Each structure stands twice: as C-alpha cells, then as structure tokens.
Amino acid sequence: MKKLSIIKIGGNVIENKQELSTFLKLFAKLDGLKILVHGGGKLATQLATKLGIQSKMVAGRRITDAETLEVITMVYAGLANKNIVAQLQAHKCNAIGLSGADGNMIQAHKRPVTEIDYGFAGDVDDVNKNIISKLLKADLTPVFCAMTHDGEGQLLNTNADTIASEIAIAMSAFYETTLYYCFEKKGVLQNIKDEDSVISQINNRSYTKLLNEGIIVDGMIPKIDNCFYAVERGVEKVCIGHHSMLATKDGLFTTITL
Amino acid sequence: MKKLSIIKIGGNVIENKQELSTFLKLFAKLDGLKILVHGGGKLATQLATKLGIQSKMVAGRRITDAETLEVITMVYAGLANKNIVAQLQAHKCNAIGLSGADGNMIQAHKRPVTEIDYGFAGDVDDVNKNIISKLLKADLTPVFCAMTHDGEGQLLNTNADTIASEIAIAMSAFYETTLYYCFEKKGVLQNIKDEDSVISQINNRSYTKLLNEGIIVDGMIPKIDNCFYAVERGVEKVCIGHHSMLATKDGLFTTITL
C-alpha cells in the first residue's frame, strides 16, 4: 500500500500570512501523496464583522445562518483556499482546491435541530474515495476547505477536524494513511505549564490512564477522542503537534495509535 | 473526435438567482462533455461597496487593486463558483469548481503597465489541456471562475470571455469544440431595434460586409472579433445568444464559423 498523509492546519496558521507561507513551503516539500484540509480561522469572523453580521457561537461552535454561510463560502472556499493553492503552485506542488461539493467528494446532511439549531452545519455522511484517488493518481494534491454539501444544492459548514478524519478514514481503503493535526502547541502535554512536556505516544491503554490521572482534560478530550475515532476505523496513526513536525520527524509531537 | 461544449454565462445570469437556477437546470441536461465558465457580475461590485472599497473602472474594465482582488477571489471562486457547483450536483451533474490556479490549469501573466495600470489583471499564456481532459475522462464537469494565476503565487483577475475562448482553443486539440457565449440578447441583431432580427450565420466574408454596412457596431465588434479569434484557432463554431439556445438548437441565435 502506498502512503498518504492528510494534514489539517489550524486557524492560527490561516490567519497569519507569515506562518501560512512557512507552513506551505514545508507542506510542498513533504514527500509522497498528501491532502491538505483547512478552515478559515478568524478571517470569516473578521469579514462578518466588516459586513455587520454578528457571529453567533454556542458552546464554541459557530451557528451558521444563511448570511454566515455566505461569508464562510467566500472566505473558506474563495479567499483562503485559492491563496493556498496559488502559493503551493509557486512551490511546484500541483494543488487543486476543493469543497466537499466539488466532484461530490464529501456528502453531508444538515445537522438535525435539537435544543440548538446550528443552522447550515453539516455532518459528514460519505467521502467519495474513488474520485479523490483519481485526483491523486493524476499527480494532483487536493486542498479541502471545511465545506460540504447535501446533494440537494445546499452548501454546509463542516468542522475541519472532522473533514480531515473522515477523509483519512475513507482513504485508508486504498492507502496507508497518517493524519496530522497541526495546532499551536508541540503536542499533548504531560504538564500544561511546560510546553516541552510532550507525550510522544498515546494508545488506548495509556489514554485511559491519562484520563484517570486528570492529565488530559477539557478541550483536549474531544480532540483525542476524534483521533481514536480515526485509528479505530483504519487510519494508521494520528500525529498531533506544531506544523514544524512535518519537517523533523524525530521532533516533539504526539502520535496516537490503537 | 468527441464533442465538447464550452459555455460562458454572463453576469446577468449570475446576479439573478431565478435566472441562474433556470440556466443550471438547462446546463445539467445538456448532452455530452461540457465546461462552464463564469464571472461574478455585479456581485463583486456589491460586496466591494458593502466593504467600502471603491470599484475603479477604466474603459469598461475593472482596475484590480489588491483589495478588489480579494473581493473577486471571495465572490468568483467562493460564493458564485461553489453555489453553482452545489446546484449542479443537485441536478446530478458532477461539477467541479476551479480557478486557473487549481491544477495549474490556466497560467497567465500580470498585464504590463502602459498608460493604464490594470493592477492584478491577467492575460492568459497557457491552458493545461491534459489535466482538463483528465477531469472530463473522470466524468467531471469543470466549472471555471474568471481567475488565473502567474505560477509565482499571484492570483489574477481575467476576463471570462477570454478564459472561455482560450479553453475552447486549447481543448480543440482533443475534441470537436463548440463555444457558447450566453448574453441577454437572442444573438447578433440585423436591426438593433428588433430583438428578433437575429443574424443566424456569420462567417469571415459576411462579417466584413456587416461591418462595412454599419450593421455591427460598438461593443459588438470586440465580442465578434473574439469569436473569430477562436474559430481561426481550431474551435469548430461559436454560438452567441440567450442561454435558452442550449435547449432549442433550432431556435434563434447567431453561429460564427470561418
């Protein structure tokens, strides 16, 4: 099986032109088949503010009303995606920018309304691994923004972490996949006050222990649960850390396996 | 040789949700291989106005400064392109939205500064016919927005009519191409006051006559020159008319051949 890397970058990189440029140089140099997944970070909120649209958040999640969906479509699929693609092209990486609607690559459904109506937020149903594989075979590097569609004409805002893991899971049918979650920190920390106290390996058993000891808490729990969700469904391993981990494979970052 | 239709829709269709929906239903039903090309019409100007960015026009052409390029990237490649793709998917047309940067499909250079500095406006150098052909063979329908790139990381605003003709010319190496320019009128008119006085055929010889007789004047001249540019470079024929011509091949519209 050929290897395939799926890399998700955080909003902090998208927002910062210098950081983004550094990351894209790194990404372009990365050997082998690869897929990039991104959101739009604060860029969408900034545009919404300029347009006088209030960003509504509930429990850390954006409520995507019709106006907000337009902003997200402009920022994620337009501004962020096409600038990333143009820059990767300059580094001789043959990138192709995509939303989940393009080529029907990521099908989703509007999240059902319960106590909260998330608006046009999409939960992924299916990733079209065959068409993504065709792009990879044509020497193209897919760059997905965090949008999907319902197949009935509706675009949907979808969490970029979820898109990355669903793509990695689907592509595991054809490739040996590694999923990289890039964020500000060097990895999962043993001691929250020590930025270098990175736990290098977490598996199912050690995760239970880390949870019981209260070392992994709060927002880190859903993040790691999402990683286990991926490795339990065929992804070889998930790496969490700063994007510089892509350059130095023996550097500090956390690897999650079964 | 297989047949390929390249259809360029006007800004008046993009701006009007109802018109766009009617057109996309028609386009989805169109038999055979096809490519859609679109700009953003007044949507970009509307967003620029909301953001307090003044649209600068010289001789009917937009001056694309850095701020305007951002607006165009958001509207053309984001809002317009992805909504078209999502709607086509609903009609079971497997659309894939693209800018010229994606897959390095349309390479251009920034228009040189003479008396006028057009800013980030691109003139097309090359269309990557091999990669577009691969998409068509994968049963995908490319939907191009009016943007190109210079290969060095710079996105460029490029006239949609030009993009359509350059794609049609390039694809003529592999396919028997027909280029459709859709606009508000039913075709080139014999009598400007009679909307139904459509000239059904124009060739090189009759064009000279129409010019000498003063029947074709003003803005219609560069439009038709652009059509001849295409047929002289391998495009089988160019059809000009209202988009309803796609449904009724024996209706009123103008066909331009050598």
Structure tokens, A49: 């503010």
Express as a percent the part of chain A with pLDDT over 90: 87
Whether A73 sits inside 8 A of B77 (CB atoms) is: no
Residue pLDDT, tens place only, B59-73: 777 799 999 999 999
Contacts of A98 in chain B (CB under 8 A): 96-97
Note whether A79 contacts B74, CB cutoff 8 Å: yes
Q: Does the pLDDT value for residue A188 go beyond 90?
A: yes
Q: Which CATH number fits domain B3-182: 3.60.40.10, 3.40.50.300, 3.40.1160.10, 3.40.50.1240?
A: 3.40.1160.10
The boundaries of every CATH 3.40.1160.10 domain in chain B are: 3-182
Q: What is the bridge-based pairing of β-strands B33-38 and B3-8?
A: parallel
Residues of A in contact with B85 (CB under 8 A): 99, 101-102, 149
The interface residues of chain A toward chain B in range 6-65, judged by CB-CB distance below 8 A, are 47, 50-51
Q: What is the pLDDT of residues B188-218, one digit of tens each?
A: 999 989 999 999 999 999 999 999 999 999 8
Is position A157 annotated in a ligand binding site?
yes
Distance CA(B245)–CA(B242), nearest Å, equals: 6
Q: Which of B94, B131, B147 sits opposite A82 (nearest CB)?
A: B147
pLDDT tens by residue, B106-125: 999 999 998 889 999 999 99
**Residue B56 has what pLDDT?**
83
Q: Which residue of A has its CA nearest to B92?
A: A151
Contact B14, B20 (CB under 8 A): yes
- Per-residue confidence at B219, pLDDT binned at 50, 70, 90? confident
Position A249 scores a pLDDT of: 67
Q: Is A86 on the interface with B (CB under 8 A)?
A: yes
Assess: ipTM above 0.85. Answer: yes
Q: Under a CB-based contact definition with an 8 Å cutoff, are residues A27 and A7 in contact?
A: yes
Query: How much is the pLDDT for A59?
Result: 75
Residue B71 near residue B53, CB atoms below 8 Å: yes
Containing B4, the helix (H) or strand (E) segment is strand B3-8
- The nearest alpha carbon in chain A to B149 belongs to A86
Cβ A223 vs Cβ A182: under 8 Å: no
Choose among B165, B181, B161: nearest CA to B241: B181
Chain A residue numbers touching B78 (CB-CB < 8 A): 73-79, 81
Residue A233 pLDDT: 98
What pLDDT shows up at residue A152? Answer: 98
**Closest of A81, A187, A169 to residue B98, by C-alpha:** A81
What is the reported pLDDT for A80? 98
- Spatial CA neighbour of B180 closest among B240, B91, B226, B231: B240
The predicted pLDDT at position B248 comes to 78
- B89 vs A101: CB contact, 8 Å cut-off? yes
Contacts of A198 (CB under 8 A, 6+ apart): A186, A187, A188, A189, A190, A241, A252, A253, A254
- Does residue A250 surpass a pLDDT of 90? no
Average pLDDT over residues B226-234: 97
pLDDT tens string A16-53: 999 999 999 999 999 999 999 999 989 999 999 999 99
Angstrom distance (rounded) from CA A106 to CA A167: 8
Q: How confident is the model at residue A219 (pLDDT cuts 50, 70, 90)?
A: confident
What's the rounded mean pLDDT across residues B168-188?
A: 96
CB-based contacts of A155, cutoff 8 Å, min separation 6 = A69, A73, A99, A101, A120, A147, A148, A149, B82, B83, B86
Name the token pair of A12: 């902090």
In tens, the pLDDT along A95-113 reads 999 999 999 999 999 999 9
d(CA A189, CA B222): 64
User: In whole numbers, what is the pLDDT of chain A averaged over residues?
Assistant: 95
Of A94, A101, A140, the CB nearest to B86: A101
Supply the pLDDT for residue B55. 76
The answer on pLDDT for B141 being more than 70 is: yes
Q: Which of A9-18, A243-252, B49-58, B169-178 has the lowest mean pLDDT?
A: A243-252
What is the C-alpha to C-alpha distance for residues B173 and B253, in angstroms, rounded to an integer? 26
Does A103 contact B at CB distance below 8 Å?
Answer: yes
Q: Which of B205, B219, B208, B201 is nearest to B256 (CA)?
A: B201
